[in-house]
Structure 1
Amino acid sequence: MSHTAHIPSHRKPRRSASKLAVRAGVAGGVLSTLAMAGTASASPSAEPVAETTLEMPVLNLDLGADVSSAVTVAAENTRLAAVEGELTAQEESARTGAAAEAKQAKEEAQKKADAEKAEKTAKEEAVRKAEAERSSRSSGSERTTLKSTAAPQGTGTVSAPATGSAAAIVNFARAQVGKAYVMGGTGPSSFDCSGLVQAAYRQAGITLPRMSQAQSSEGTSVSLSALQPGDILYWGSRGSAYHVAIYVGGGKFVGAQNPSTGIVERNLSYDKPTGAVRVL
């Protein structure tokens, strides 16, 4: 054994041939690739790479015009709504006004009718008073005095049936019982109070004034306790009576009372008269 066998060597170990070959191959591949890239970039005859450009659709929007149009439409709708509201208010006002005018016209018509009625009543009253005055002045010359059976004092009845002119008056008055009362009626189917008295006295050939006021001024006043058939009963004051009837004897009278009862025969107690006059 050599005396140098245990001394390590200072030389680098040799690489294996296989590893060297692999590294050489890799390096050669890299250099080849770089060479090809440089050649390609330097070659003027190389075709350029085609680029593709996508065209986007163009939106041609006029936002100002659209906003203006929308505002105009909104303003027009608001105006139309205001006009419609105003028209509705005017229609309601017109209906209310028409109702008020109709009510006022009705009230005025009623007032006018009441005024005309009052005026008519006043004229009729004036005519009645004038007739009463004329009748009072001429009653002495126009009065016809007839005899009749006297009634006992305090009884209001007669001791014997009516005769002569009184009988004619009483019989006519009783024959009208059941007929209608009509204001202004003078027969033959309907009467008012003074119309009945006038028609009854006509049966005895006696002409009486038409109105109750004047009839109550005819003849002479008699007590209600001394009545005779044919006497004229009156309600109210003599000369201004508002109702008249005919005493028919037995404590009863016949009169055209009102539209509800018509011509009736009633006891004196049914509607006690104010006074009485005797024309017969």
Structure 2
Amino acid sequence: MSHTAHIPSHRKPRRSASKIALRAGVAGGVLSTLAVAGASGPAFAAEPVTETIEMPTITADLSTQVAQSADATQQAANSYALQAEQDLAVAKAAKQAKADQALAEKKAEAKKKAEAEAKRKAEEARASRSAERTTLSTASHVAAPASGSVASVIAFLKAQVGDAYVMGGTGPNSWDCSGLTQAAFAQAGVSLPRVSQDQSTAGTPVSLDNLQVGDLLYWGAAGSAYHVGVYIGNGQYLDAANPSKGVVIQDLSGYPASGAVRVL
């Protein structure tokens, strides 16, 4: 036996491989557990963050809804305002139309009264001329009336008897048929057209059986007459006949007229 056998050894006892492996396994398990815990810890901590991130999405949706609602409200307000403007415009137009209608009716009534007054005066004047013609018809054709529109026409015509006939003549000493009648009726303030065709339609047509002094006679068709003269009563007329006769008084029986118009 060694003399050192009884001295305790200062060497640490060797650990068996199995113990070392066991301890390593325990340590590894602890480390694994810590690693898992560390890894899982942040995940759990991130959950509130995830919920906070979702809030802006909810807030944005709500803002969009509010904005859409505001737009709809504004559109409705604009629509109501436009409708109000249209209603006001319609009301104004209706009021103006009513005023225009009233004015038109007032003007029409005034025109109607004026026409009635003019018609009354024309009838009075016609009645006066008819009475004058009746007086002339019953009198001798050589006795010219002293006054009146018809009288002035007849007096002018008779004053031209003996003047020459010249185509296109309008006086004072030579005439054609329509030039003479135009000048004669001008004495009474009546403006006749220049040519016989137009003069034949310048007044109211009358029957040859109902002639009155001062009626305008025409030969040919109305509107295309080729000659005119003036009835002076007692079946006679005065005209600028032709170049061979000049201005003369003639009997209707020798050269009957085609028609007559009353211009006075």
TM-score by length of 2: 0.47
Q: Say which one has the larger Rg.
A: 1
Using CA pairs under 8 Å that are at least 6 residues apart, name the structure with larger relative contact order, 1 or 2.
1
> Which one has a larger percent helix, Structure 1 or Structure 2?
2
